[in-house]
Amino acid sequence: HDQSLAPGAIILSGFARPIDSGLLTAVAEVAEAAPFRNMTTPGGWRMSVAMTNCGEAGWVTDRSGYRYDPRDPETKTPWPAMPAVFRDLAARAADRAGFPGFQPDACLINRYAPGAKLSLHQDKDEADFGQPIVSVSLGLPATFLWGGTTRSERPRRIRLTHGDIAVWGGPARLTFHGVDTLRDGDHPATGPFRYNLTFRRAR
């Protein structure tokens, strides 16, 4: 039951579910070395989504801007290595979606508590927009907002639940997207949180 949303955009329902506990163990191990933190936007706002990273580069934002950085600015040490279970899952999902040979070098891990949201944006900090992004949702369900190629287009609302994977590439790569305010809840695997892993080729 792969759900094609538009050319280049596909949702693989429940694709990550068989390995959910392995993924969540790996998230906890990454977060032990590189704790979740609420970063600051260039405009000075504290993000409601808590973030960390693993891989050769991590996405960061502060008063000086957005960028990929090989080091965690909090610890000034390299981000934790990308767990094999992450790398393999991302490659399998990309392959299934029609992007063979995907080798992510960055994984941004987003943690949403009830009330957290992600405003409409484009992912434009990567070097090559020919490379797809693979996104894995775990825990509480969320409403994903999927816009068009301009910010003013009214977004479609798409439910993403535990174990869903979305792959965005080709003509869908630069679409505006976001996440609506997370509702209260309690999930058997994650308690009061939603996690989203986004696999990227940053460089």
**Which positions lie near ligand MD3, rule CB under 6 A?**
108, 110, 118, 123, 133, 135, 166, 168, 172-173, 175, 177, 179, 196, 198
At its nearest, how many Å lie between Fe ion and the CB of residue 111?
15
Q: Of 76 and 94, which has the nearer Cβ to ligand MD3? A: 94
> Residue with structure tokens 């279970």?
85
State the nearest-atom distance from the C-beta of 76 to Fe ion, in Å. Answer: 26
Cα–Cα distance measured from residue 95 to residue 183, given in angstroms and rounded to the nearest whole number: 32
* Residue 146 is assigned to a ligand binding site: no
> Which of residues 52 and 80 has its CB atom nearest to ligand MD3 in the complex?
52
Annotated binding residue at 1?
no
Per CB under 5 A, does 123 bind Fe ion? yes
Closer residue to ligand MD3 in complex, CB, 83/155: 155
E-assigned strands of the chain?
2-6, 9-12, 50-55, 58-62, 65-69, 71-72, 77-78, 106-112, 118-121, 133-139, 142-146, 156-160, 165-168, 177-179, 194-200
The pair of structure tokens assigned to 142 is 């969320």
110 is in an annotated binding site: yes
Stretch that binds Fe ion, among 6-14, 23-31, 87-95, 116-124 (CB under 5 A): 116-124
Beta bridge partners of 108: 53, 198
User: Residue 160: what residue type?
Assistant: L
* From the list ligand MD3, Fe ion, none, partner contacted by residue 111 (C-beta under 5 to 8 A by kind): none
Q: Rounded to whole angstroms, how far apart are CA atoms 138 and 136?
A: 7
Region from 19-27, 55-63, 118-126, 153-161 binding Fe ion, contact rule CB under 5 A: 118-126
Say if residue 67 carries a ligand binding annotation. Answer: yes
By a kind-dependent CB cut-off of 5 to 8 A, residue 173 interacts, out of Fe ion, ligand MD3, none, with ligand MD3
Contact 109, 51 (CB under 8 A): yes
44 token code pair: 């000075």
How far apart, in whole angstroms, are the C-alpha atoms of residue 142 and residue 67? 26
* 8 A C-beta contact, residue 67 and residue 57: no
Which residue has the CB atom at the shortest distance from Fe ion?
A: 123
80 token code pair = 């934790």
Contacts with Fe ion, residue ranges (CB under 5 A): 123
Instruction: Give the residue ranges of the annotated binding site for Fe cation.
Output: 121, 123, 177
Instruction: Give the residue ranges of the annotated binding site.
Output: 59, 66-68, 110-112, 121, 123, 125, 151, 177, 194-200
Instruction: Give the residue ranges of the annotated binding site for substrate.
Output: 59, 66-68, 125, 151
